[in-house]
């Protein structure tokens, strides 16, 4: 039987961050998968949104301007905060994303300097090349370390040189979940905590509600059916909206998902729109 339900995939990465497909290609894939709507939620950047919106106009796929901000709670609990229906041209948002990007770049430079000082001849230019103009991160340094033969694998490069207590460790610039949510909400968006079962910190979620959390992502490829049901109930009890998506990066690897692998009913988009006052 043909399913005529309108569906939406509300968590997708493009090559503006660490996805493999361009924003245009992502929208084409969404059209191919007969999705009514998708959200572009790149890590700490909105650079892919305009291209996706244009492709959306061409194909009739509704594109929700979004973002996934990497925040840190406490010492090192990574909390990914999704923003939906943000104004992606809002200056204070762009300024803050710029600060994050610079901080990441500076951290990359500092890691390479420290490694060089410790006798590991990693070359900054090569690290930047591996980042392909995107956000510089430790995975790129790790690849450069493996390339020069200073470690046998990415994992061993991390363990020997990049984690706390090793020569290349540099603390990262932190934005808290509360700050990420304020930024999203000031930008006209709805703040949603990503892959909450993966985070597995329900008491933290309760705290985040007080700081402005409006939704949780209950449907995600890493969530079991039981986990999704649990978080649906959790959301209902606390008046949160429930979202879901594929977290597609479309990479050629076993654990990479594709556009449309996890979807929610289109009504969720309508709820988010109302919450964002759009």
130 and 144 in contact (C-beta within 8 Å)?
A: yes
Give 101 or 126: the residue with its C-beta nearer to Zn ion. 101
The enclosing H or E element of 181 equals: helix 177-186
Q: Does 250 bind Zn ion (CB under 5 A)?
A: no
Query: Closest-CB residue for Zn ion?
Result: 80
Q: Which among 25-33, 46-54, 143-151, 193-201 is the span making contact with Zn ion, rule CB under 5 A?
A: 193-201
Q: Which is nearer to Zn ion, 39 or 194 (CB)?
A: 194
Instruction: Specify which residues 84 forms β-bridges with.
Output: 66, 190
Q: Residue 148 Cβ, how far from Zn ion at the closest point, in Å?
A: 30
Dihedral angle of Cα 105, 108, 109, 111, to the nearest 10 degrees = 160
Q: Decide: 63 and 53 in contact? Cβ < 8 Å.
A: yes
For position 247 contacting Zn ion by CB under 5 A, the verdict is: yes
Residue whose C-alpha is closest to residue 247's, from 278, 218, 204: 218
In the complex, minimum distance from the CB of residue 41 to Zn ion, in angstroms, rounded to a whole number: 6
Nearest CB to Zn ion, comparing residues 34 and 256:
256
Question: Cβ distance 39 to 66 under 8 Å?
Answer: yes
Nearer to Zn ion, 144 or 180 (CB): 180
Q: Which stretch in 88-96, 175-183, 188-196, 210-218 sits in contact with Zn ion by CB under 5 A? A: 188-196
Nearer CB in complex with Zn ion: 151/197: 197
Toward Zn ion, which CB reaches closer, 184 or 194? Answer: 194
Is the distance from CB of 168 to CB of 174 less than 8 angstroms?
Answer: no
Tell me how far, at minimum, the Cβ of 165 lies from Zn ion, in Å: 26
| 101 beta partners | none
Closer residue to Zn ion, CB minimum distance, 128 or 220: 220
Map residue 243 onto helix, strand or coil. Answer: strand
Query: Measured between alpha carbons, how far apart are the two ends of the chain, in Å?
Result: 34
Site string (59-98) toward Zn ion, x via CB under 5 A:
---------x-----------x------------------
* Site mask for Zn ion (CB under 5 A), range 194-213, x = bound: x-------------------
Separation CA 101–CA 128 (nearest Å) = 13
The residue to which tokens 């106009």 are assigned = 57
| 9 touches Zn ion (CB under 5 A) | no
- Per-residue CA distances from 277 to 7, 175, 187, 213 (Å): 21, 26, 12, 16
Q: How far is the CB of 259 from Zn ion (least distance, A)?
A: 13
Q: Which residues in this chain contact Zn ion in the complex, by CB under 5 A? A: 68, 80, 194, 247
């Amino acid at each position: 039987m043909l399913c005529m339900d309108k569906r939406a995939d509300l968590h997708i990465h493009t090559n503006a961050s660490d996805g493999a497909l361009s924003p245009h290609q992502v929208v084409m894939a969404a059209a191919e998968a007969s999705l009514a709507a998708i959200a572009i939620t790149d890590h700490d950047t909105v650079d892919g949104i305009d291209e996706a919106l244009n492709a959306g106009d061409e194909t009739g796929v509704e594109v929700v301007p979004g973002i996934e901000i990497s925040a840190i709670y406490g010492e090192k609990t990574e909390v990914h905060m999704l923003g939906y229906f943000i104004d992606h041209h809002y200056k204070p948002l762009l300024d803050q994303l710029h600060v994050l990007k610079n901080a990441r770049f500076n951290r990359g430079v500092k890691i390479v300097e420290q490694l060089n000082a410790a006798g590991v001849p990693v070359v900054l230019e090569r690290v930047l090349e591996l980042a392909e103009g995107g956000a510089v991160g430790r995975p790129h340094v790790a690849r450069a370390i493996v390339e020069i033969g200073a470690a046998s694998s990415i994992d061993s490069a991390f363990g020997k040189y990049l984690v706390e207590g090793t020569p290349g460790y540099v603390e990262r610039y932190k934005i808290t979940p509360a700050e990420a949510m304020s930024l999203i909400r000031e930008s006209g968006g709805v703040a949603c905590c990503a892959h909450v079962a993966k985070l597995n910190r329900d008491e933290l979620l309760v705290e985040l509600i007080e700081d402005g959390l409006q939704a949780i992502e209950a449907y995600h490829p890493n969530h079991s059916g039981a986990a999704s049901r649990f978080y649906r109930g959790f959301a209902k009890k606390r008046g949160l909206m429930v979202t879901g998506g594929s977290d597609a990066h479309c990479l050629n690897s076993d654990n990479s998902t594709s556009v449309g692998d996890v979807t929610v009913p289109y009504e969720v988009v309508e709820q988010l729109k109302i919450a964002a006052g759009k």
